[in-house]
Structure 1
Amino acid sequence: MAEIAKTLKGFTRKSGTDIKPVSLRQVIDEAMLLLQPQIKQSEVTLSLSLPENDIIVKGGRIRLEQVVINLLSNALDAVGTEADPKVSLSLQREGKVAVLSVSDNGPGIEAEDMPQIFDPFFTTKDVGAGLGLGLSIAYKIVHDFSGSLKAANRDEGGAEFVMRLPVADEHVLAAE
């Protein structure tokens, strides 16, 4: 309970626009902590694939948590009607880039919806189930940190969102 309260207090503080070294492991851990009740209730098989060593990026911890929570929440919603719902999150480093992907085995994204998936107020959810701001905000946050966020349908079914962020320079970390 104390851990959840501490994490929620962090969300209530002004997130600011400071860009500094952020542990993606910590971002994922806190997002998972906040989503645990939703994960348990939905009975989704959630798999995490994290590297042995943490990956540090330049960004804002709270804003990056918002992105991860949004991507995971959308994936959990997408698999809500599946017989064997599965969501996976993976994190890896590719050279000087951190790559975080969230995928699901839901119905995927309709071809006609793909071009506007990151537009403000666009939603495929039922009326009252979403404002259509989550992916738009996530896209903006990732771009504010010199990264990219892309959506695609997986060959085996379902959707995948891939966030790429530059890894923080080791010299910057030493100064922190």
Structure 2
Amino acid sequence: SSERQETISVQACIEYALRLFHSRLRDDGIRVVQQWPDETLWVKGDLVRLEQVLVNLIGNAVQAMKEAKQPVLTLSAEISKEQITISVLDSGPGIATDHLGHIFEPFFTTKAPGSGLGLGLSISSRIMEDLGGKLQATNLATGGACFTVTLPRSTAPEPSTARLKQENQPHA
């Protein structure tokens, strides 16, 4: 694709997404667990679009846990030689088995009328394809859902080419 590819820190993207949900996570009593390797994880892609996917996945997880007694959002990553897999896990009810095959279809939603268009996961899946990665969903044996984002791994950028985001930098 003709995407503008840049080297992106996975952890910086996750931190950005979590900042957007900070007060909601606090107000809903959601415990956030992060499990990262010691090293910074780098992927090639489009920063804004990857953040869009992560914001959508975290937002869906938060919504899925609104009835959970002990809501926990777990964010983790696994590295292989070629790729990085980011997992977003929630302690909600999981995804109905008959819905699993449809959740990435445009306009498919399980939300009440007026509270979702059913486009978030469809758009997120398309973004991941455009970035040379993939988005998948499974249910956890312990309950809850797990969404995984897999992207080609990259090496750390040269300091001059790294797009370092400042805490208060306005976001397009």
TM-score of the superposition, structure 1-length normalised? 0.85
The percent identity for this pair of structures is: 36
Instruction: Pick one of 64, 68, 79 that aligns with 1:78.
Output: 64
**SS of the counterpart of 1:58?**
strand
Q: Is the 8 A contact 2:43 2:154 kept in 1?
A: yes
Residue 20 of structure 1 pairs with residue 6 of structure 2: yes
Counterparts of 1:139 and 1:69, CA distance in 2: 13
Name the one with the larger helix percent: 1
Gaps of 5+ in 2: 162-172
Q: Aligned runs of 1:16-165 on 2, under 5 Å? A: 17-165=3-151
> Letter of the aligned partner of 2:103 in structure 1?
I
Q: CA deviation at 1:128?
A: 1.3
CA RMSD of aligned residues (A): 1.5
Q: CA deviation at 1:169?
A: 4.7
SS in 2 for 1:112: helix
Task: Note the residue ranges of structure 1 that are not aligned, 5 or more in a row.
Answer: 1-15
| RCO higher in structure (CA 8 A, sep ≥6) | 2
Q: Distance in 2 between matches of 1:40 and 1:104?
A: 15
Shift in Å, 1:17: 3.1
In 2, the alpha carbon distance for the partners of 1:61 and 1:32 equals: 15
TM superposition score normalised by structure 2: 0.87
Aligned residues: 159
**Residue identity matched to 1:39:** L
